Amino acid sequence: MPRMRRKADLPTKICAACGLPFAWRKKWERDWDNVKYCSDRCRRSKGGV
C-alpha cells in the first residue's frame, strides 16, 4: 500500500476568485488541470471578493 503524502507535498493553486492558495484534493484527481476555484462559494462568485 502506498504511503500517505504530507499536505505540504501536495500541489497547490491560487483560487481565481479569492486569490488564496488551495491544495490538491482526492476528488479533483482526474480533473486537477481544470480546477480554478477553492470552493463552490468561490465558483459561484467568480472573481468578486
Residues 2-49: tens digit of each pLDDT: 677 787 788 999 999 999 999 999 999 999 999 999 999 999 987 555
- DSSP per residue, 2-44: PPPPPGGGS-EEE-TTT--EEE--GGGTTTGGG---SSHHHHH
